[in-house]
Chains A and B, each alone.
Chain A
């Protein structure tokens, strides 16, 4: 899993990069909800959703290869879905000489289609929105200010902690640490404990520094331009598509 959490931002410019973050967050979220509500047998609805996701990925500036490697990161979560047809009950269908559960195949398709489309939506948001913007967007969406400040702090210190962890690992490796089995994990666990103490103490130092600068428990609110109606209109188009497709499919099927 290491390295899987590198931020996915695309350092380019696109119309999507310029949309206000709060509008993009709401749009991404509702699009995923719309996809999740779509009945599994409405294959055409998923196809249209996929066209939406693919064109937005292209507008965002993803190169096909780049997008594929990022999709690959979710493969393990989809792997489970592949097993469903083999273990599920119900009617059987013959496919490639195997007797598979019909309902299981649909269930498998359901999970794969929805998770791929949902991942695509997250990739578009993550690829076009810097972390600081996401934090600002969460604030503008009236998330409790404390939560927004905690998220901001987390990102401010995440790289620092990860790098410190990397240095500890290099130090351990330099001393011949190369564990193969679970019972050799003690140095890693102790390092995690030491990491916690260091992080906590850093938190206390940061807190003192903040107090010295007049911190009173909440972070000062920054003024920003609110999202324009155009931003909202653009960000809400994909969810309008996915939700109406879901509704149409629910009525027809």
Chain B
């Protein structure tokens, strides 16, 4: 948990810090405008208090095992409750303020901290939520389950994003494979807790004020009125099962058979691109190439992670920025 979260100064190379800062500013700027369109003059009080809520929720310790505790990150939770644009905005503000005033995470690391902890978790998590909602039963249990999967996946996506950034901006000669395995492995465990707490929290909001949950705005109220109780142990078992399945899938990519993915990578030509990036080390840190031990495997995993992150975040961005803008122009046309 301590690795991707609040990374300190000097964790990744300067070029990666600048590049991620640029990407973050562009996306957060877009999220700010989108959130303004959604909340209108309510944006200041609602986003402000939501930011305070996320800040406080990160102090909410929950039990993990035998008295040890963890705490929420809240990116996916914020995105499902408030919409990915407002969610990303709110978590960004929390991350920046923590770095500036509480010495949590480096100031020069803000670019990648915002990207990994606010943007990837909100937009990626929201995309996973909508996809999972389609696959789950259309009732309250299905929505809560989808929220849990999304929150868990958002943490794993965040870890993958860090690993990919490590490939370009490593500051230590540690192979990309090791970083990837360690980061994603640890975050799968964290994801179980994050998913469980987020799902239950969203279940609680659905029970009392379903109109406040952005992620179910498009559904009829009767859809989630059906609240079949799910026993807690089943719920936890489901979460752990999902984590094991995800771990197996990821480790398959990481260890056993890179060939399939590699073929796909070569066919689609992104292996070439990836190689160009990794070997074109002049603009990257001294260790860009040492990050790649077993070249083909590393690049395959990197390509897979990069693809997964871009797809999820891109889909999330499209979902929020694209269709809604159209509906808004229709609104203004009728006015």
Q: Which residues of chain A in 116-146 are interfacial with respect to chain B, using CB atoms and an 8 Å cutoff?
A: 117-119, 121-123, 125-126, 131, 134, 144, 146
Q: Say whether B93 contacts A151, CB under 8 Å.
A: yes
Q: Say whether A182 contacts B63, CB under 8 Å.
A: yes
Q: Say whether B55 contacts A33, CB under 8 Å.
A: no
Q: Say whether A203 contacts B197, CB under 8 Å.
A: no
Q: Say whether A115 contacts B10, CB under 8 Å.
A: yes
Q: Say whether B212 contacts A197, CB under 8 Å.
A: yes
The size bracket of the interface on B is: 35 or more
Q: Which of A121, A122, A203 contacts B50 (CB 8 A)?
A: A203
B2, B173, B199 pick with most chain A CB within 10 angstroms: B173
Instruction: Determine the chain B residues whose CB is within 8 A of the CB of A59 once the complex forms.
Output: none
Given contacts A1-B59, A88-B174, A183-B236, contact A35 B9 (CB under 8 A): yes
Q: Which of A78, A90, A197 contacts B290 (CB 8 A)?
A: A90
Q: Say whether A110 contacts B10, CB under 8 Å.
A: yes
Given contacts A125-B100, A144-B32, contact A107 B171 (CB under 8 A): yes
Task: Assess whether B167 is interfacial by the CB under 8 Å rule.
Answer: no
Task: Assess whether A249 is interfacial by the CB under 8 Å rule.
Answer: no
Q: Which residues of chain B in 43-65 are interfacial with respect to chain A, using CB atoms and an 8 Å cutoff?
A: 43-53, 55-65
A136 smallest CB distance to B (angstroms): 14
CA distance A118 to B61 in the complex (A): 27
Q: Which of A11-19, A215-223, A225-233 contacts B (4 or more CB under 8 A)?
A: A215-223
Q: Say whether B49 contacts A189, CB under 8 Å.
A: no
CA distance A51 to B311 in the complex (A): 47
Q: Say whether A180 contacts B67, CB under 8 Å.
A: yes
Q: Say whether A179 contacts B63, CB under 8 Å.
A: yes
- Residue on B nearest A131 in the bound complex, by CB: B101
A190 smallest CB distance to B (angstroms): 4
B10, B46, B53, B58 pick with most chain A CB within 10 angstroms: B10
Q: Say whether A103 contacts B60, CB under 8 Å.
A: no
CA distance A202 to B106 in the complex (A): 33
Q: Say whether A121 contacts B107, CB under 8 Å.
A: yes
Q: Say whether B174 contacts A84, CB under 8 Å.
A: yes
Task: Assess whether A108 is interfacial by the CB under 8 Å rule.
Answer: yes
CA distance A103 to B207 in the complex (A): 55
B328 smallest CB distance to A (angstroms): 16
Is the contact region of chain A dominated by helix, strand, or loop, or is it mixed?
helix
Q: Which of B34-42, B268-276, B315-323 contacts A (4 or more CB under 8 A)?
A: B34-42
Q: Say whether A2 contacts B61, CB under 8 Å.
A: yes
Q: Say whether B204 contacts A192, CB under 8 Å.
A: yes
- Residue on B nearest A160 in the bound complex, by CB: B52
B219 smallest CB distance to A (angstroms): 18
Interface string of A182-219 (1 = CB under 8 A from B): 11111011111111110111111011001100011111
A120 smallest CB distance to B (angstroms): 9
CA distance A87 to B170 in the complex (A): 14
Instruction: Determine the chain B residues whose CB is within 8 A of the CB of A182 once the complex forms.
Output: 62-65, 192-193, 196, 236
Q: Say whether A76 contacts B101, CB under 8 Å.
A: no
Task: Assess whether A36 is interfacial by the CB under 8 Å rule.
Answer: yes
CA distance A141 to B252 in the complex (A): 49
Q: Which of B48, B201, B287 contacts A157 (CB 8 A)?
A: B48
Q: Say whether B8 contacts A192, CB under 8 Å.
A: no
Given contacts A32-B9, A146-B36, A199-B50, contact A193 B203 (CB under 8 A): yes
Instruction: Determine the chain A residues whose CB is within 8 A of the CB of B277 once the complex forms.
Output: none
B126 smallest CB distance to A (angstroms): 16
Task: Assess whether B232 is interfacial by the CB under 8 Å rule.
Answer: yes
Instruction: Determine the chain B residues whose CB is within 8 A of the CB of A180 once the complex forms.
Output: 63, 65-67
Given contacts A87-B178, A154-B93, A194-B208, contact A114 B10 (CB under 8 A): yes
Interface string of B85-110 (1 = CB under 8 A from A): 00001100110011111111111110
Instruction: Determine the chain A residues whose CB is within 8 A of the CB of B246 once the complex forms.
Output: none
Q: Which residues of chain B in 187-205 are interfacial with respect to chain A, using CB atoms and an 8 Å cutoff?
A: 192-193, 196-205
Given contacts A87-B174, A161-B53, A206-B49, contact A118 B9 (CB under 8 A): yes
Residue numbers of B with Cβ under 8 A of A are 2-3, 6-11, 14, 17, 32, 36, 40-53, 55-67, 71-72, 81, 89-90, 93-94, 97-109, 171-175, 178, 192-193, 196-205, 207-209, 212, 232-233, 235-236, 287, 290, 293
Task: Supply 7 further A-B pairs (C-beta < 8 A) apart from A76-B2, A114-B108.
Answer: A35-B108, A84-B172, A110-B10, A183-B233, A193-B208, A197-B205, A217-B40
